[in-house]
C-alpha cells in the first residue's frame, strides 16, 4: 500500500488529510448541541459510563446554551485570530450528538452548515444511537458538505464495554461503522487504552481488530481517571496500574507500526482540564508526548503501517 503521507512525518495526520482534500488549512470548532446520553437519562442507565466526565475536556454546561450559530462564530473568530484559518468544520462534541429526533438534528446541523466558511460537520456519537433515518439525513447533508461521524468505540472487548457500563457490545459498533460507510460517510473512531480489564497484549491486539473496520480516522486516548466519576471511586478504593509517559510512548509506537497506513490520526493522547485529573499525572505536556512518539519512531526507523500485513492477528 502506498503511504498517503510523507514518510518523514511518521504517521498520517488528520490535518494532512483535510488539507489534501480541501486544498487549504481546515480547523474544527467545538460546539455543544445540548444533547444528553442514553446512559445518563435512564434510557439504558444513569450516571454515564464509568470513566465519563465531559467537564474534563469541555467547559461546564450552563443552563442556557448560546445558539449553534453564536458558538461557531465565536470559535471561528478565536481560531482565525491565532491560526489565520479560512475554512472550518463544526464539531458537535459533548455527549451523544445524534441522540434526538431527526427533525431537531436536521435543524441544528443545517444551522451550522449555513454559516460562511463552514464546509462540514464532525459529529461525535455512540454506535447504538444512529438509526437508519439519521444516517439517511447525514447522507443527504453529505451531498453538499463534508460529514464525518465519530463513533465512541472505546474498546473492542465486550468484557471491557460491560465493565465500563457502556450499554452495548462491540458487534453493535462494528455494524454501526459499516452502516455509516454504506451511506457514504467519513467515519472516525475514538479508542481508549488502559482499562484494567485488558492486558497489555490485548491492548496491542486491538489494532488488529481496528484494521478490519472500515474506518477513515482514529483518536487514541489513554485512560483518564477523572474526579467525580465512578471510575475515580473505584481507583480510590483499589488503585490499578496506569500508563507512565514512556510506557504510553512505547505502546503508541507499537500500535502505529501495526495500524493500516490509510487511517488518519486525529489524536495520540488525551488531555484533561486543569483540576479534573486524578491519574495518570504526567510531567510531559501533550506536545512533548507527541514529540516523544515521533522521536521513538525515528529511532526505530519505522512509521505508521510499517508492520501492517506482516503480523498475523491473534486468534
The answer to the question of residue 208 being in a domain is: yes
Any bridge partners for residue 26, and if so which? 87
The answer to the question of residue 126 being in a domain is: yes
The answer to the question of residue 213 being in a domain is: yes
pLDDT band with cut points at 50, 70 and 90 for residue 314: low
Given a cut of 80, whether residue 161 has pLDDT beyond it is yes
Question: What is the strand order of the sheet 217-222 is part of?
Answer: 26-31, 87-92, 118-125, 146-154, 186-193, 217-222, 264-267
The answer to the question of residue 314 being in a domain is: no
Considering the chain, what is the average pLDDT of its residues? 93
pLDDT band with cut points at 50, 70 and 90 for residue 56: very low
CA atoms within 13 A on the CB side of 53: 21
pLDDT over 90, % of the chain? 86
Q: Is the peptide bond before 297 cis (omega within 30 degrees of 0)?
A: no
Q: Are the beta carbons of 253 and 302 closer than 8 angstroms?
A: yes
Name the residue with higher pLDDT: 81 or 161.
161
pLDDT single digits (tens) 237-256: 999 999 999 999 999 999 99
Question: Looking at residues 290-296, what average pLDDT do you find?
Answer: 98
Backbone angles phi, psi at 176, to 5 degrees: -65, -40
Q: Residue 272: which CATH number?
A: 3.80.30.30
Q: How many domains does the chain have?
A: 1
The answer to the question of residue 306 being in a domain is: no
> Which sign, positive or negative, has the C-alpha torsion 274, 279, 282, 287?
negative
The answer to the question of residue 1 being in a domain is: no
Question: Looking at residues 256-275, what average pLDDT do you find?
Answer: 94
Q: How confident is the model at residue 63, as a pLDDT?
A: 64
The answer to the question of residue 135 being in a domain is: yes
Which residue's entry shows cell 433515518? Answer: 133
Q: How confident is the model at residue 46, as a pLDDT?
A: 85
The answer to the question of residue 151 being in a domain is: yes
Q: What region, left, alpha or beta, does residue 165 occupy, with left being phi > 0 and alpha being psi -120 to 50 degrees?
A: left
Domain that holds residue 157: 7-300
pLDDT single digits (tens) 181-192: 999 999 999 999
CA atoms within 13 A on the CB side of 261: 19
Q: What region, left, alpha or beta, does residue 143 occupy, with left being phi > 0 and alpha being psi -120 to 50 degrees?
A: alpha
Kindly report the pTM of this predicted structure: 0.93
Amino acid at each position: 500500500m502506498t503511504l498517503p503521507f510523507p514518510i518523514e512525518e511518521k504517521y498520517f495526520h488528520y490535518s494532512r488529510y483535510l488539507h489534501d482534500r480541501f486544498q487549504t488549512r481546515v480547523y474544527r470548532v467545538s460546539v455543544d448541541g445540548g444533547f444528553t446520553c442514553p446512559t445518563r437519562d435512564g434510557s439504558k442507565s444513569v450516571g454515564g459510563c464509568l470513566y465519563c466526565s465531559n467537564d474534563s475536556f469541555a467547559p461546564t454546561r450552563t443552563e442556557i446554551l448560546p445558539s449553534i450559530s453564536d458558538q461557531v462564530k465565536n470559535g471561528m473568530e478565536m481560531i482565525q485570530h491565532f491560526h489565520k484559518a479560512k475554512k472550518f468544520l463544526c464539531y458537535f462534541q459533548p455527549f451523544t450528538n445524534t441522540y434526538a429526533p431527526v427533525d431537531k438534528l436536521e435543524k441544528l446541523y443545517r444551522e451550522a452548515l449555513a454559516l460562511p466558511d463552514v464546509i462540514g460537520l464532525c459529529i461525535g456519537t455512540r454506535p447504538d444511537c444512529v438509526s437508519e433515518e439519521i444516517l439517511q439525513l447525514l447522507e443527504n447533508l453529505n451531498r453538499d458538505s463534508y460529514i464525518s461521524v465519530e463513533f465512541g468505540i472505546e474498546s473492542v472487548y465486550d468484557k471491557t464495554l460491560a465493565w465500563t457500563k457502556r450499554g452495548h457490545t462491540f458487534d453493535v459498533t462494528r455494524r454501526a461503522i459499516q452502516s455509516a460507510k454504506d451511506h457514504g460517510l467519513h467515519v472516525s473512531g475514538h479508542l481508549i487504552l488502559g482499562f484494567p480489564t485488558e492486558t497489555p497484549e490485548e491492548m496491542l491486539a486491538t489494532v488488529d481488530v481496528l484494521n478490519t473496520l472500515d474506518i477513515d480516522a482514529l483518536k487514541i486516548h489513554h485512560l483518564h481517571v477523572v474526579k467525580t466519576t465512578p471510575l475515580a471511586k473505584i481507583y480510590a478504593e483499589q488503585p490499578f496500574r496506569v500508563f507512565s509517559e514512556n510506557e504510553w510512548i512505547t505502546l503508541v509506537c507499537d500500535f502505529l507500526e501495526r495500524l493500516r497506513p490509510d487511517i488518519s490520526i486525529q489524536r495520540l493522547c488525551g488531555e484533561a482540564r486543569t483540576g479534573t485529573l486524578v491519574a495518570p499525572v504526567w510531567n510531559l505536556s501533550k506536545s512533548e508526548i507527541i514529540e516523544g512518539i515521533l522521536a521513538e519512531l525515528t529511532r526505530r526507523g519505522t512509521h505508521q503501517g510499517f508492520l501492517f500485513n506482516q503480523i498475523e492477528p491473534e486468534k
